């Protein structure tokens, strides 16, 4: 085993980890980032770094021999297919009652997500992070996060005319006719670039359906924003295909045990590093699994009883509607959603009008709803199986389905349309088996203090979505980024 000492070690390279690494490096601290996924900086045999959604291959999934697409069926037929096992980009991690989709690689979820960059309405912020001062968030940290992430809006004249957003215009029309407020959703896709794609003057990415397995061009993932600044500091080392498996107190800080992986997911070396400070930024699931295991197995026994608790799915539920022939949604659908239906106040649902980029006319409207749900699950250590379980129940999605119905039952009744039953199985309306938005497990001001310092262990911090107790009311990454900006500023000012 190698021996080395680092001032700060960051576990994971998603939003929380990238913010922490940048601000620490800018404050003069040398940082080591450890990432279990790949670097995603080298083109494959087809000349592209990332695979297209329509042609999944080994790059598409984390250690699976068959794809597990969120929409598993089309016209009732299963669409998953065999792929070689590989350390691919999208993890469909299965717990007993829910499949949690996550990004794997340098950039975390920013590699695979839809790029929707939404700041929650201030009036709901108390439901998101009740112990955080909203003045600071809306005055300083949300603006900082939005600026660093490169958040921008679609040009309205282009939206109104482009073929690629016919599906959103149909979604808007149906929302309006049922008297639902709709909003344009800001994103981190470079809209100027997308207009060039449409004009045929730049290689296509969103307009050929790239999204779930990575965007080759227009999306400003963390690789292009925070992580490019991280590299420019010259103070940060990033180790891809390295997975943290243990953190224990040691002289000078914490001894961190790291497994190096090959692209088959097998450990090929074990390394030990002593770090003065360790920042857990492995995502809600990754951080929760590590902390729960380390507490239960005696590595970090003084972590408190809040560790593993307060996990939620952001109320995610998906559905499709079958439109009339006079409401085609278009053969060409941009993979980046940019319109949402807001029925939060009355029905507890915020629905993104999402694409179905199949390349053919489907006459379908497709939606990802974020809903208000009281259900929270807990991670626990299962000693017999040697793994961490999550006690989420599939039936808990009933609340979310009902909230989503507050929008779509009304639209269906107004339009004289019905739900699609062919997208998640045979005669199955609701995509209620999954989430894209895992949140919680090391909740702020419970498992940690009000700035992410883990109780019981000075020098251990949580920086990611596990701090947020189960909901962000809208899509989460702007809030995760803004909270990380707030916390790391305090930690640098007081703990270094
Ligand atoms: P994040 O998951 O980004 O990063 C954690 C990193 O740690 C990962 O790279 C992981 O591989 C690594 N890791 C885990 N365990 C480790 C270990 N033991 N050792 C080393 N590394 C480890 N949000 C939004 O706001 N708008 C949107 O449009 C979407 N759309 C969307 C689509 C899809 C398909 C998904 C899967 C997700 C979204 N999201 C989204 C959600 C968003 O991507 C998510 O909330 C954030 O990426 C979470 O950021 P974190 O910093 O918490 O962790």
Q: Is 204 exposed, middle or buried (0-12, 13-18, 19+ CB in 10 A)?
A: middle
Residues 404 and 366: their CA atoms lie apart, in Å, by 12
Distance 147 CA to ligand 1 centre (A): 20
CA 15 to chain centre: 9
Residues 419 and 365: their CA atoms lie apart, in Å, by 9
Residues 486 and 144: their CA atoms lie apart, in Å, by 10
The ligand 1 atom at the shortest distance from the C-alpha of residue 102 is 36
Ligand 1, pocket-test mutation among 120, 477, 483, 487, most atoms within 8 A of CB: 477
Which pLDDT score, from 0 to 100, does residue 358 have? 86
Which pLDDT score, from 0 to 100, does residue 3 have? 56
Distance 464 CA to ligand 1 centre (A): 9
Q: Is 210 a catalytic residue?
A: no
Query: Which residue from 176, 184, 203 is spatially nearest to 119, judged by alpha carbons?
Result: 184
Residue 114 gets which letter from DSSP?
-
Distance 468 CA to ligand 1 centre (A): 13
- The one-digit pLDDT tens for each residue of the chain (496 residues) are 445 789 999 999 999 999 999 999 999 999 999 999 999 999 999 999 999 999 999 999 999 999 999 999 888 889 999 999 999 999 999 999 999 999 999 999 999 999 999 999 999 999 999 999 999 999 999 999 999 999 999 999 999 999 999 999 999 999 999 999 999 999 999 999 999 999 999 999 999 999 999 999 999 999 999 999 999 999 999 999 999 999 999 999 999 999 999 999 999 999 999 999 999 999 999 999 999 999 999 999 999 999 999 999 999 999 999 999 999 999 999 999 999 999 999 999 999 999 998 889 999 999 999 999 999 999 999 999 999 999 999 999 999 999 999 999 999 999 999 999 999 988 999 999 999 999 999 999 999 999 999 999 999 999 999 999 999 999 999 999 999 999 999 999 999 9
The ligand 1 atom at the shortest distance from the C-alpha of residue 352 is 28
Given the DSSP bridges, would you call strands 434-435 and 387-390 parallel, antiparallel or unpaired?
A: unpaired
CA angle 353, 94, 301 (to 5 degrees): 115
Residues 396 and 126: their CA atoms lie apart, in Å, by 23
Given the DSSP bridges, would you call strands 379-382 and 364-371 parallel, antiparallel or unpaired?
A: unpaired
Q: Considering 32, 242, 433, 437, which one is annotated as catalytic? A: 437
Residues 138 and 166: their CA atoms lie apart, in Å, by 33
Which pLDDT score, from 0 to 100, does residue 75 have? 83
Asked whether the beta carbons of 41 and 89 are under 8 A apart, the reply is: no
CB 462 less than 6 A from any atom of ligand 1: no
Q: Considering 148, 195, 259, 352, which one is annotated as catalytic? A: 352
Ligand 1, pocket-test mutation among 9, 11, 14, 278, most atoms within 8 A of CB: 14
CB 438 less than 6 A from any atom of ligand 1: no
Q: Is 437 a catalytic residue?
A: yes
Residues 431 and 423: their CA atoms lie apart, in Å, by 8
The ligand 1 atom at the shortest distance from the C-alpha of residue 107 is 9
Query: Which residue from 128, 116, 114 is spatially nearest to 335, judged by alpha carbons?
Result: 114
Distance 340 CA to ligand 1 centre (A): 22
Asked whether the beta carbons of 169 and 161 are under 8 A apart, the reply is: no
CA 420 to chain centre: 26
CB 70 less than 6 A from any atom of ligand 1: no
Distance 414 CA to ligand 1 centre (A): 37
């Amino acid at each position: 085993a190698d021996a080395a000492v680092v001032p700060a070690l960051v576990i994971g390279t998603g939003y929380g980890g990238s913010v922490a690494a940048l601000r620490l490096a800018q404050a003069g601290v040398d940082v080591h980032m450890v990432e279990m996924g790949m670097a995603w900086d080298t083109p494959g045999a087809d000349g592209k770094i990332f695979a297209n959604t329509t042609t999944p291959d080994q790059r598409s999934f984390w250690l699976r021999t068959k794809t597990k697409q969120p929409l598993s069926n089309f016209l009732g037929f299963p669409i998953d297919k065999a792929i070689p096992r590989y350390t691919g980009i999208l993890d469909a991690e299965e717990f007993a009652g829910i499949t949690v989709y996550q990004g794997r690689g340098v950039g975390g979820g920013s590699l695979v997500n839809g790029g929707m960059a939404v700041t929650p309405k201030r009036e709901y912020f108390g439901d998101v992070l009740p112990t955080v001062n909203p003045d600071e968030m809306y005055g300083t940290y949300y603006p900082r996060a939005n600026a660093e992430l490169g958040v921008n809006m679609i040009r309205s004249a282009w939206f109104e005319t482009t073929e690629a957003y016919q599906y959103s215009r149909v979604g808007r029309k149906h929302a309006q006719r049922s008297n639902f407020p709709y909003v344009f959703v800001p994103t981190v896709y470079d809209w100027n670039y997308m207009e060039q794609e449409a004009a045929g003057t730049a290689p296509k990415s969103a307009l050929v359906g790239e999204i779930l397995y990575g965007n080759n061009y227009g999306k400003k993932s963390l690789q292009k924003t925070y992580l490019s600044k991280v590299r420019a500091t010259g103070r940060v080392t990033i180790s891809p295909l390295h997975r943290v498996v243990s953190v224990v107190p040691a002289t000078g800080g914490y001894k961190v045990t790291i497994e190096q992986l090959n692209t088959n997911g097998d450990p090929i070396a074990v390394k030990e590093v002593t770090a003065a400070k360790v920042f857990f930024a492995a995502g809600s699931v990754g951080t929760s699994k590590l902390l729960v295991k380390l507490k239960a197995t005696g590595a970090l026994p003084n972590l408190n009883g809040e560790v593993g608790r307060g996990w939620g799915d952001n109320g995610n539920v998906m559905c499709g509607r079958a439109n009339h022939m006079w409401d085609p949604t278009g053969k060409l659908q941009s993979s980046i959603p940019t319109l949402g239906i807001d029925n939060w106040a009355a029905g507890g649902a915020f629905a993104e009008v999402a694409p179905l980029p199949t390349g053919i006319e489907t006459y379908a409207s497709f939606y990802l709803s974020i809903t208000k749900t009281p259900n929270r699950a807990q991670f626990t250590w299962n000693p017999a199986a040697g793994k961490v379980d999550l006690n989420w129940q599939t039936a808990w999605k009933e609340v979310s389905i009902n909230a989503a119905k507050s929008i779509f039952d009304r639209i269906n009744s107004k339009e004289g349309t019905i739900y699609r039953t062919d997208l998640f199985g045979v005669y199955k309306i609701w995509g209620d088996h999954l989430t894209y938005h895992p949140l919680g497990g090391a909740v702020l001001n419970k498992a940690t203090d009000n700035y992410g310092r883990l109780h019981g262990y000075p020098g251990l911090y949580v920086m990611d979505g596990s701090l947020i107790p189960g909901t962000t009311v809208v899509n989460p990454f702007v809030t995760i980024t803004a909270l990380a900006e707030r916390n790391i500023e305090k930690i640098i000012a007081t703990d270094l």
